[in-house]
Structure 1
């Protein structure tokens, strides 16, 4: 199985730098359709599906390898080596924001910038750190997912998407969740929601944009502010949007924030 097929890689655009887009839990590369085309005239754009998601090769899903986000980060580095030309700008949504961060820590020379859309280094409250959920909240979420995946998907997708004035987006996310292999989704959810990468934030040296909605169930603004304080090379942009997917529900504001960041960093 080659890399192109394993991750369902698609390449478009042309330019001296490469933008790599990576989707969040339960999604696929089509979630970037309102953002990626904006940059195709000036950048080489690379979109792909995380193994176990979308059009990736499900047979390549290794439960041991993907038992931590580092397994996905190693895939990102392979995709960078195979498909990127020039400086790399990695744009990751939700859990992929952390995956991109880990890849950039591993090989900082390959990344010119990271854009983290709705990131969270840990979803669980811990002392002074507010991640948005208690340990019991997350365990209940995972138990519900384990026992009734389709019911969980139907209930959680609209809450995650938000965007009350765009109900078609909630329906799209629900369908995306429901198309995911249940066993893989349950495993990936546990890896995603129990991960704690707060200790990695000070290790980041790559210029980083933290892009968050001002009303996000999964990644409240206080998480973005914490990350901004901890990543010394970061900028924080908060867009007016309800939900965890501003690249879908507020694409113009998201593109504007990314464009401003790229201009500031000379990319």
Structure 2
């Protein structure tokens, strides 16, 4: 168990024998992104925070082949849940972690009791009647820009992802978080994220799910959130007043209240 704790910089708080609530961060972020949300659940739950490989203080060696697809990250989430002997798990996930969580849920049938998804997208590219928000050329340009100048990409994308209406301070925090990830790791994770297609994984996902949909989310818009809810059998969507793709940073109180209501 100690190896998985070090590998993913696992930090626990709250009630040791309480129901576990696991917070899974998105691309380019780390567990610090939950600092305004997670503490609110420490009085009743076993709160678990972790970092994916290459993020935060995770120590696990990065294998580009293992992490070329989201399955590699899902396997890590499975290892965390098994290593900590977690059951009846509440998963709170952001962005790409929503689909990582779905994949992990398929690998751990019966272990997740509820799933809160913040800004999920099962597929980022437009495909026929499906509107993922990006054309293939957009994705290829985004990935090419990231590969050629990751710091420049981070500076340009952080305000878009955060939402310009949420101010420069939060955009700068997100940019700095991106820049802490090694460009080679970020490039592989970005490709795994933006080229993924998890639409077929949703109908068989049997975990009660709440989708939290922000306004003016440039990464995972309303159509994507609605599609996700339509495909997951026992799911519901809540439209937030918060704007942008990171409401757990820009509007943490609304996120806490939404999770509380669902639980």
TM-score interval for Structure 1 and Structure 2 normalised by the shorter chain: over 0.9
Scaled by the length of structure 2, the TM-score of the pair is: 0.96
Scaled by the length of structure 1, the TM-score of the pair is: 0.95
Q: Deviations over 1:84-106 (max 9, x none)?
A: 54410011100111111111122
- Measured on the aligned residues, the alpha-carbon RMSD in Å equals 1.2
Deviates more, 1:80-89 or 1:181-190: 80-89
Match of residue 19, structure 1, among 5, 18, 21: 21
Q: 2:34–2:248: 8 Å Cα contact kept in structure 1? A: yes
Q: Deviations over 1:132-174 (max 9, x none)?
A: 0000000000011111111100000111011524321100000
Mapped to 2, the partners of 1:27 and 1:76 lie a distance apart of: 16
Match of residue 40, structure 1, among 39, 42, 60: 42
- Measured after TM superposition, the shift of residue 56 of structure 1 is 0.7
Could you list the runs of 5+ residues in structure 1 that have no partner in the other structure? 263-267
Map of 1:124 onto structure 2: 125
Could you list the runs of 5+ residues in structure 2 that have no partner in the other structure? none
Q: How many residues align?
A: 261
Map of 2:207 onto structure 1: 206
Mapped to 1, the partners of 2:134 and 2:141 lie a distance apart of: 11
Secondary structure of the corresponding residue to residue 164 of structure 1: helix
Map of 1:195 onto structure 2: 196
Secondary structure of the corresponding residue to residue 203 of structure 2: helix
Map of 1:106 onto structure 2: 107
After the TM superposition, which parts of structure 1 deviate over 3 Å for at least 4 consecutive aligned residues? none
- Measured after TM superposition, the shift of residue 81 of structure 1 is 1.6
Map of 1:265 onto structure 2: none
Q: Deviations over 1:23-66 (max 9, x none)?
A: 000000000011100001000000000011111115x1111111
